[in-house]
Amino acid sequence: MTSSNRIEAVRRFNRFYTRQIGVLNEGLLDSEFTLTECRILWELAHLDDGAGITATDLGRLLDLDAGYLSRLLRALKERELVDATRSKDDARQSLLQLTAAGCLAFEPLERRSQQQVEALLSRLSDTQQAELLQAFQRVQLLLDEAGGKLAKNSFILRPHRPGDMGWLVSRHGALYAREYQFDMGFEALVARIAADFIDRFDASREACWIAERDGVNIGGVCLVQARDEATKQPLDRTAQLRLLLVEPSARGLGLGERLVAECHRFAREAGYQRVWLWTNSQLSAAKHIYSKAGYKLIESEPFQGFGHDLIGETWELDLTTQQV
């Protein structure tokens, strides 16, 4: 898709969604207020009890021009919906708050907004609602990341559940095709690993962690009982780290290191003495995480796969020499 096609696709969605939520109407939510006025009232209504906010901070929060915001606030003050009082901590600052009339004016706006969204969602099944919310959260995640708004530890780690292994397979296939031009043979390999994980899963010896932010998967990893490649028999006191993935939008948060650390914690508690993994020489970011965690490269061998001539690498971590 060309750049102009992408721009038009975004504009087309904007036109569609603004029509869906009725922001083109003269008054938002069948009210006398514009969209921007409603946002100002919403922000002021959701301040901490007894707190106020300066016009400067409000403008920064809403990304509004100072002059435009000043005109809107003047109009709201004239209607006795917003009041400004001197700050107790700094007499040079005025803090904005809703008046009693402002609170009364906001209540129907909040109620109508909830009813509007409820009506929108009611047209969809539970499955479709979940898909829609994930799509919304994915958009927010990508745009927040592009704007530099993601913070470290802005995610949770949870155990895998139905659908997660399929997600790991899909995202591995898509990302490695895009970033390393791997063919679908790689996705097939990941699918076999995921299937083996499900078929052989032993919660006392194996685990999967999915990193999630606002309901959207942004990474994952598995730790399994290591097995002999030829006989498939378990290797004594040896675990294998598999399927480490961090979405591009979540890189730089320390997520990869956190996922690997969780594997090591679990491995120690399960009685493993070593962890090994297989990767290839191209994956410099992943190898940096492994090296930083104490892994040593113990074997490398050229191979042809995934549409390329590659060098496979085996790395190992001796847990008995690692400090907890």
Tens-place pLDDT, residues 226-252:
999 889 899 999 999 999 999 988 888
Both tokens assigned to 93: 């600052």
Q: pLDDT value at position 258?
A: 94
Q: What is the pLDDT of residue 251?
A: 84
Q: Rounded distance, CA 306 to CA 177, Å?
A: 9
pLDDT tens for each residue of 152-194: 556 889 999 999 999 999 999 999 999 999 999 999 999 999 9
- Residue 152's pLDDT is 54
**Cβ-proximal residues to 124 (8 Å cutoff; 6+ apart), any chain:** 132
AA letter at 64:
L
Q: Where are the alpha helices (DSSP H) in the chain?
A: 3-21, 35-45, 55-62, 66-78, 100-122, 126-146, 164-180, 184-200, 255-269, 284-292
The pTM score is 0.60
Radius of gyration of the chain (CA): 26
Q: Could you write out the DSSP letters of every residue in 111-125?
A: HHHHHHHHHHHHTS-
Q: What is the pLDDT of residue 273?
A: 96
Query: What DSSP state is assigned to residue 228?
Result: -
* pLDDT given for residue 266 in this prediction: 95
Residues 227-239 as b or e (16 or more Cβ within 10 Å = b): eeeeeeeebeebb
pLDDT at position 61? 84
Counting Cα atoms < 13 Å in the Cβ hemisphere of 281 gives: 13
Question: What number of other Cβ atoms are within 10 A of residue 16's Cβ?
Answer: 9
Judged by DSSP in three states, 298 sits in strand
Length of the chain: 324
**pLDDT value of position 209:** 96
> What is the model's pLDDT at position 145?
58
The ranges of the chain with pLDDT < 50 are: none
Cβ 299 vs Cβ 279: under 8 Å: no
Res 16: pLDDT: 85
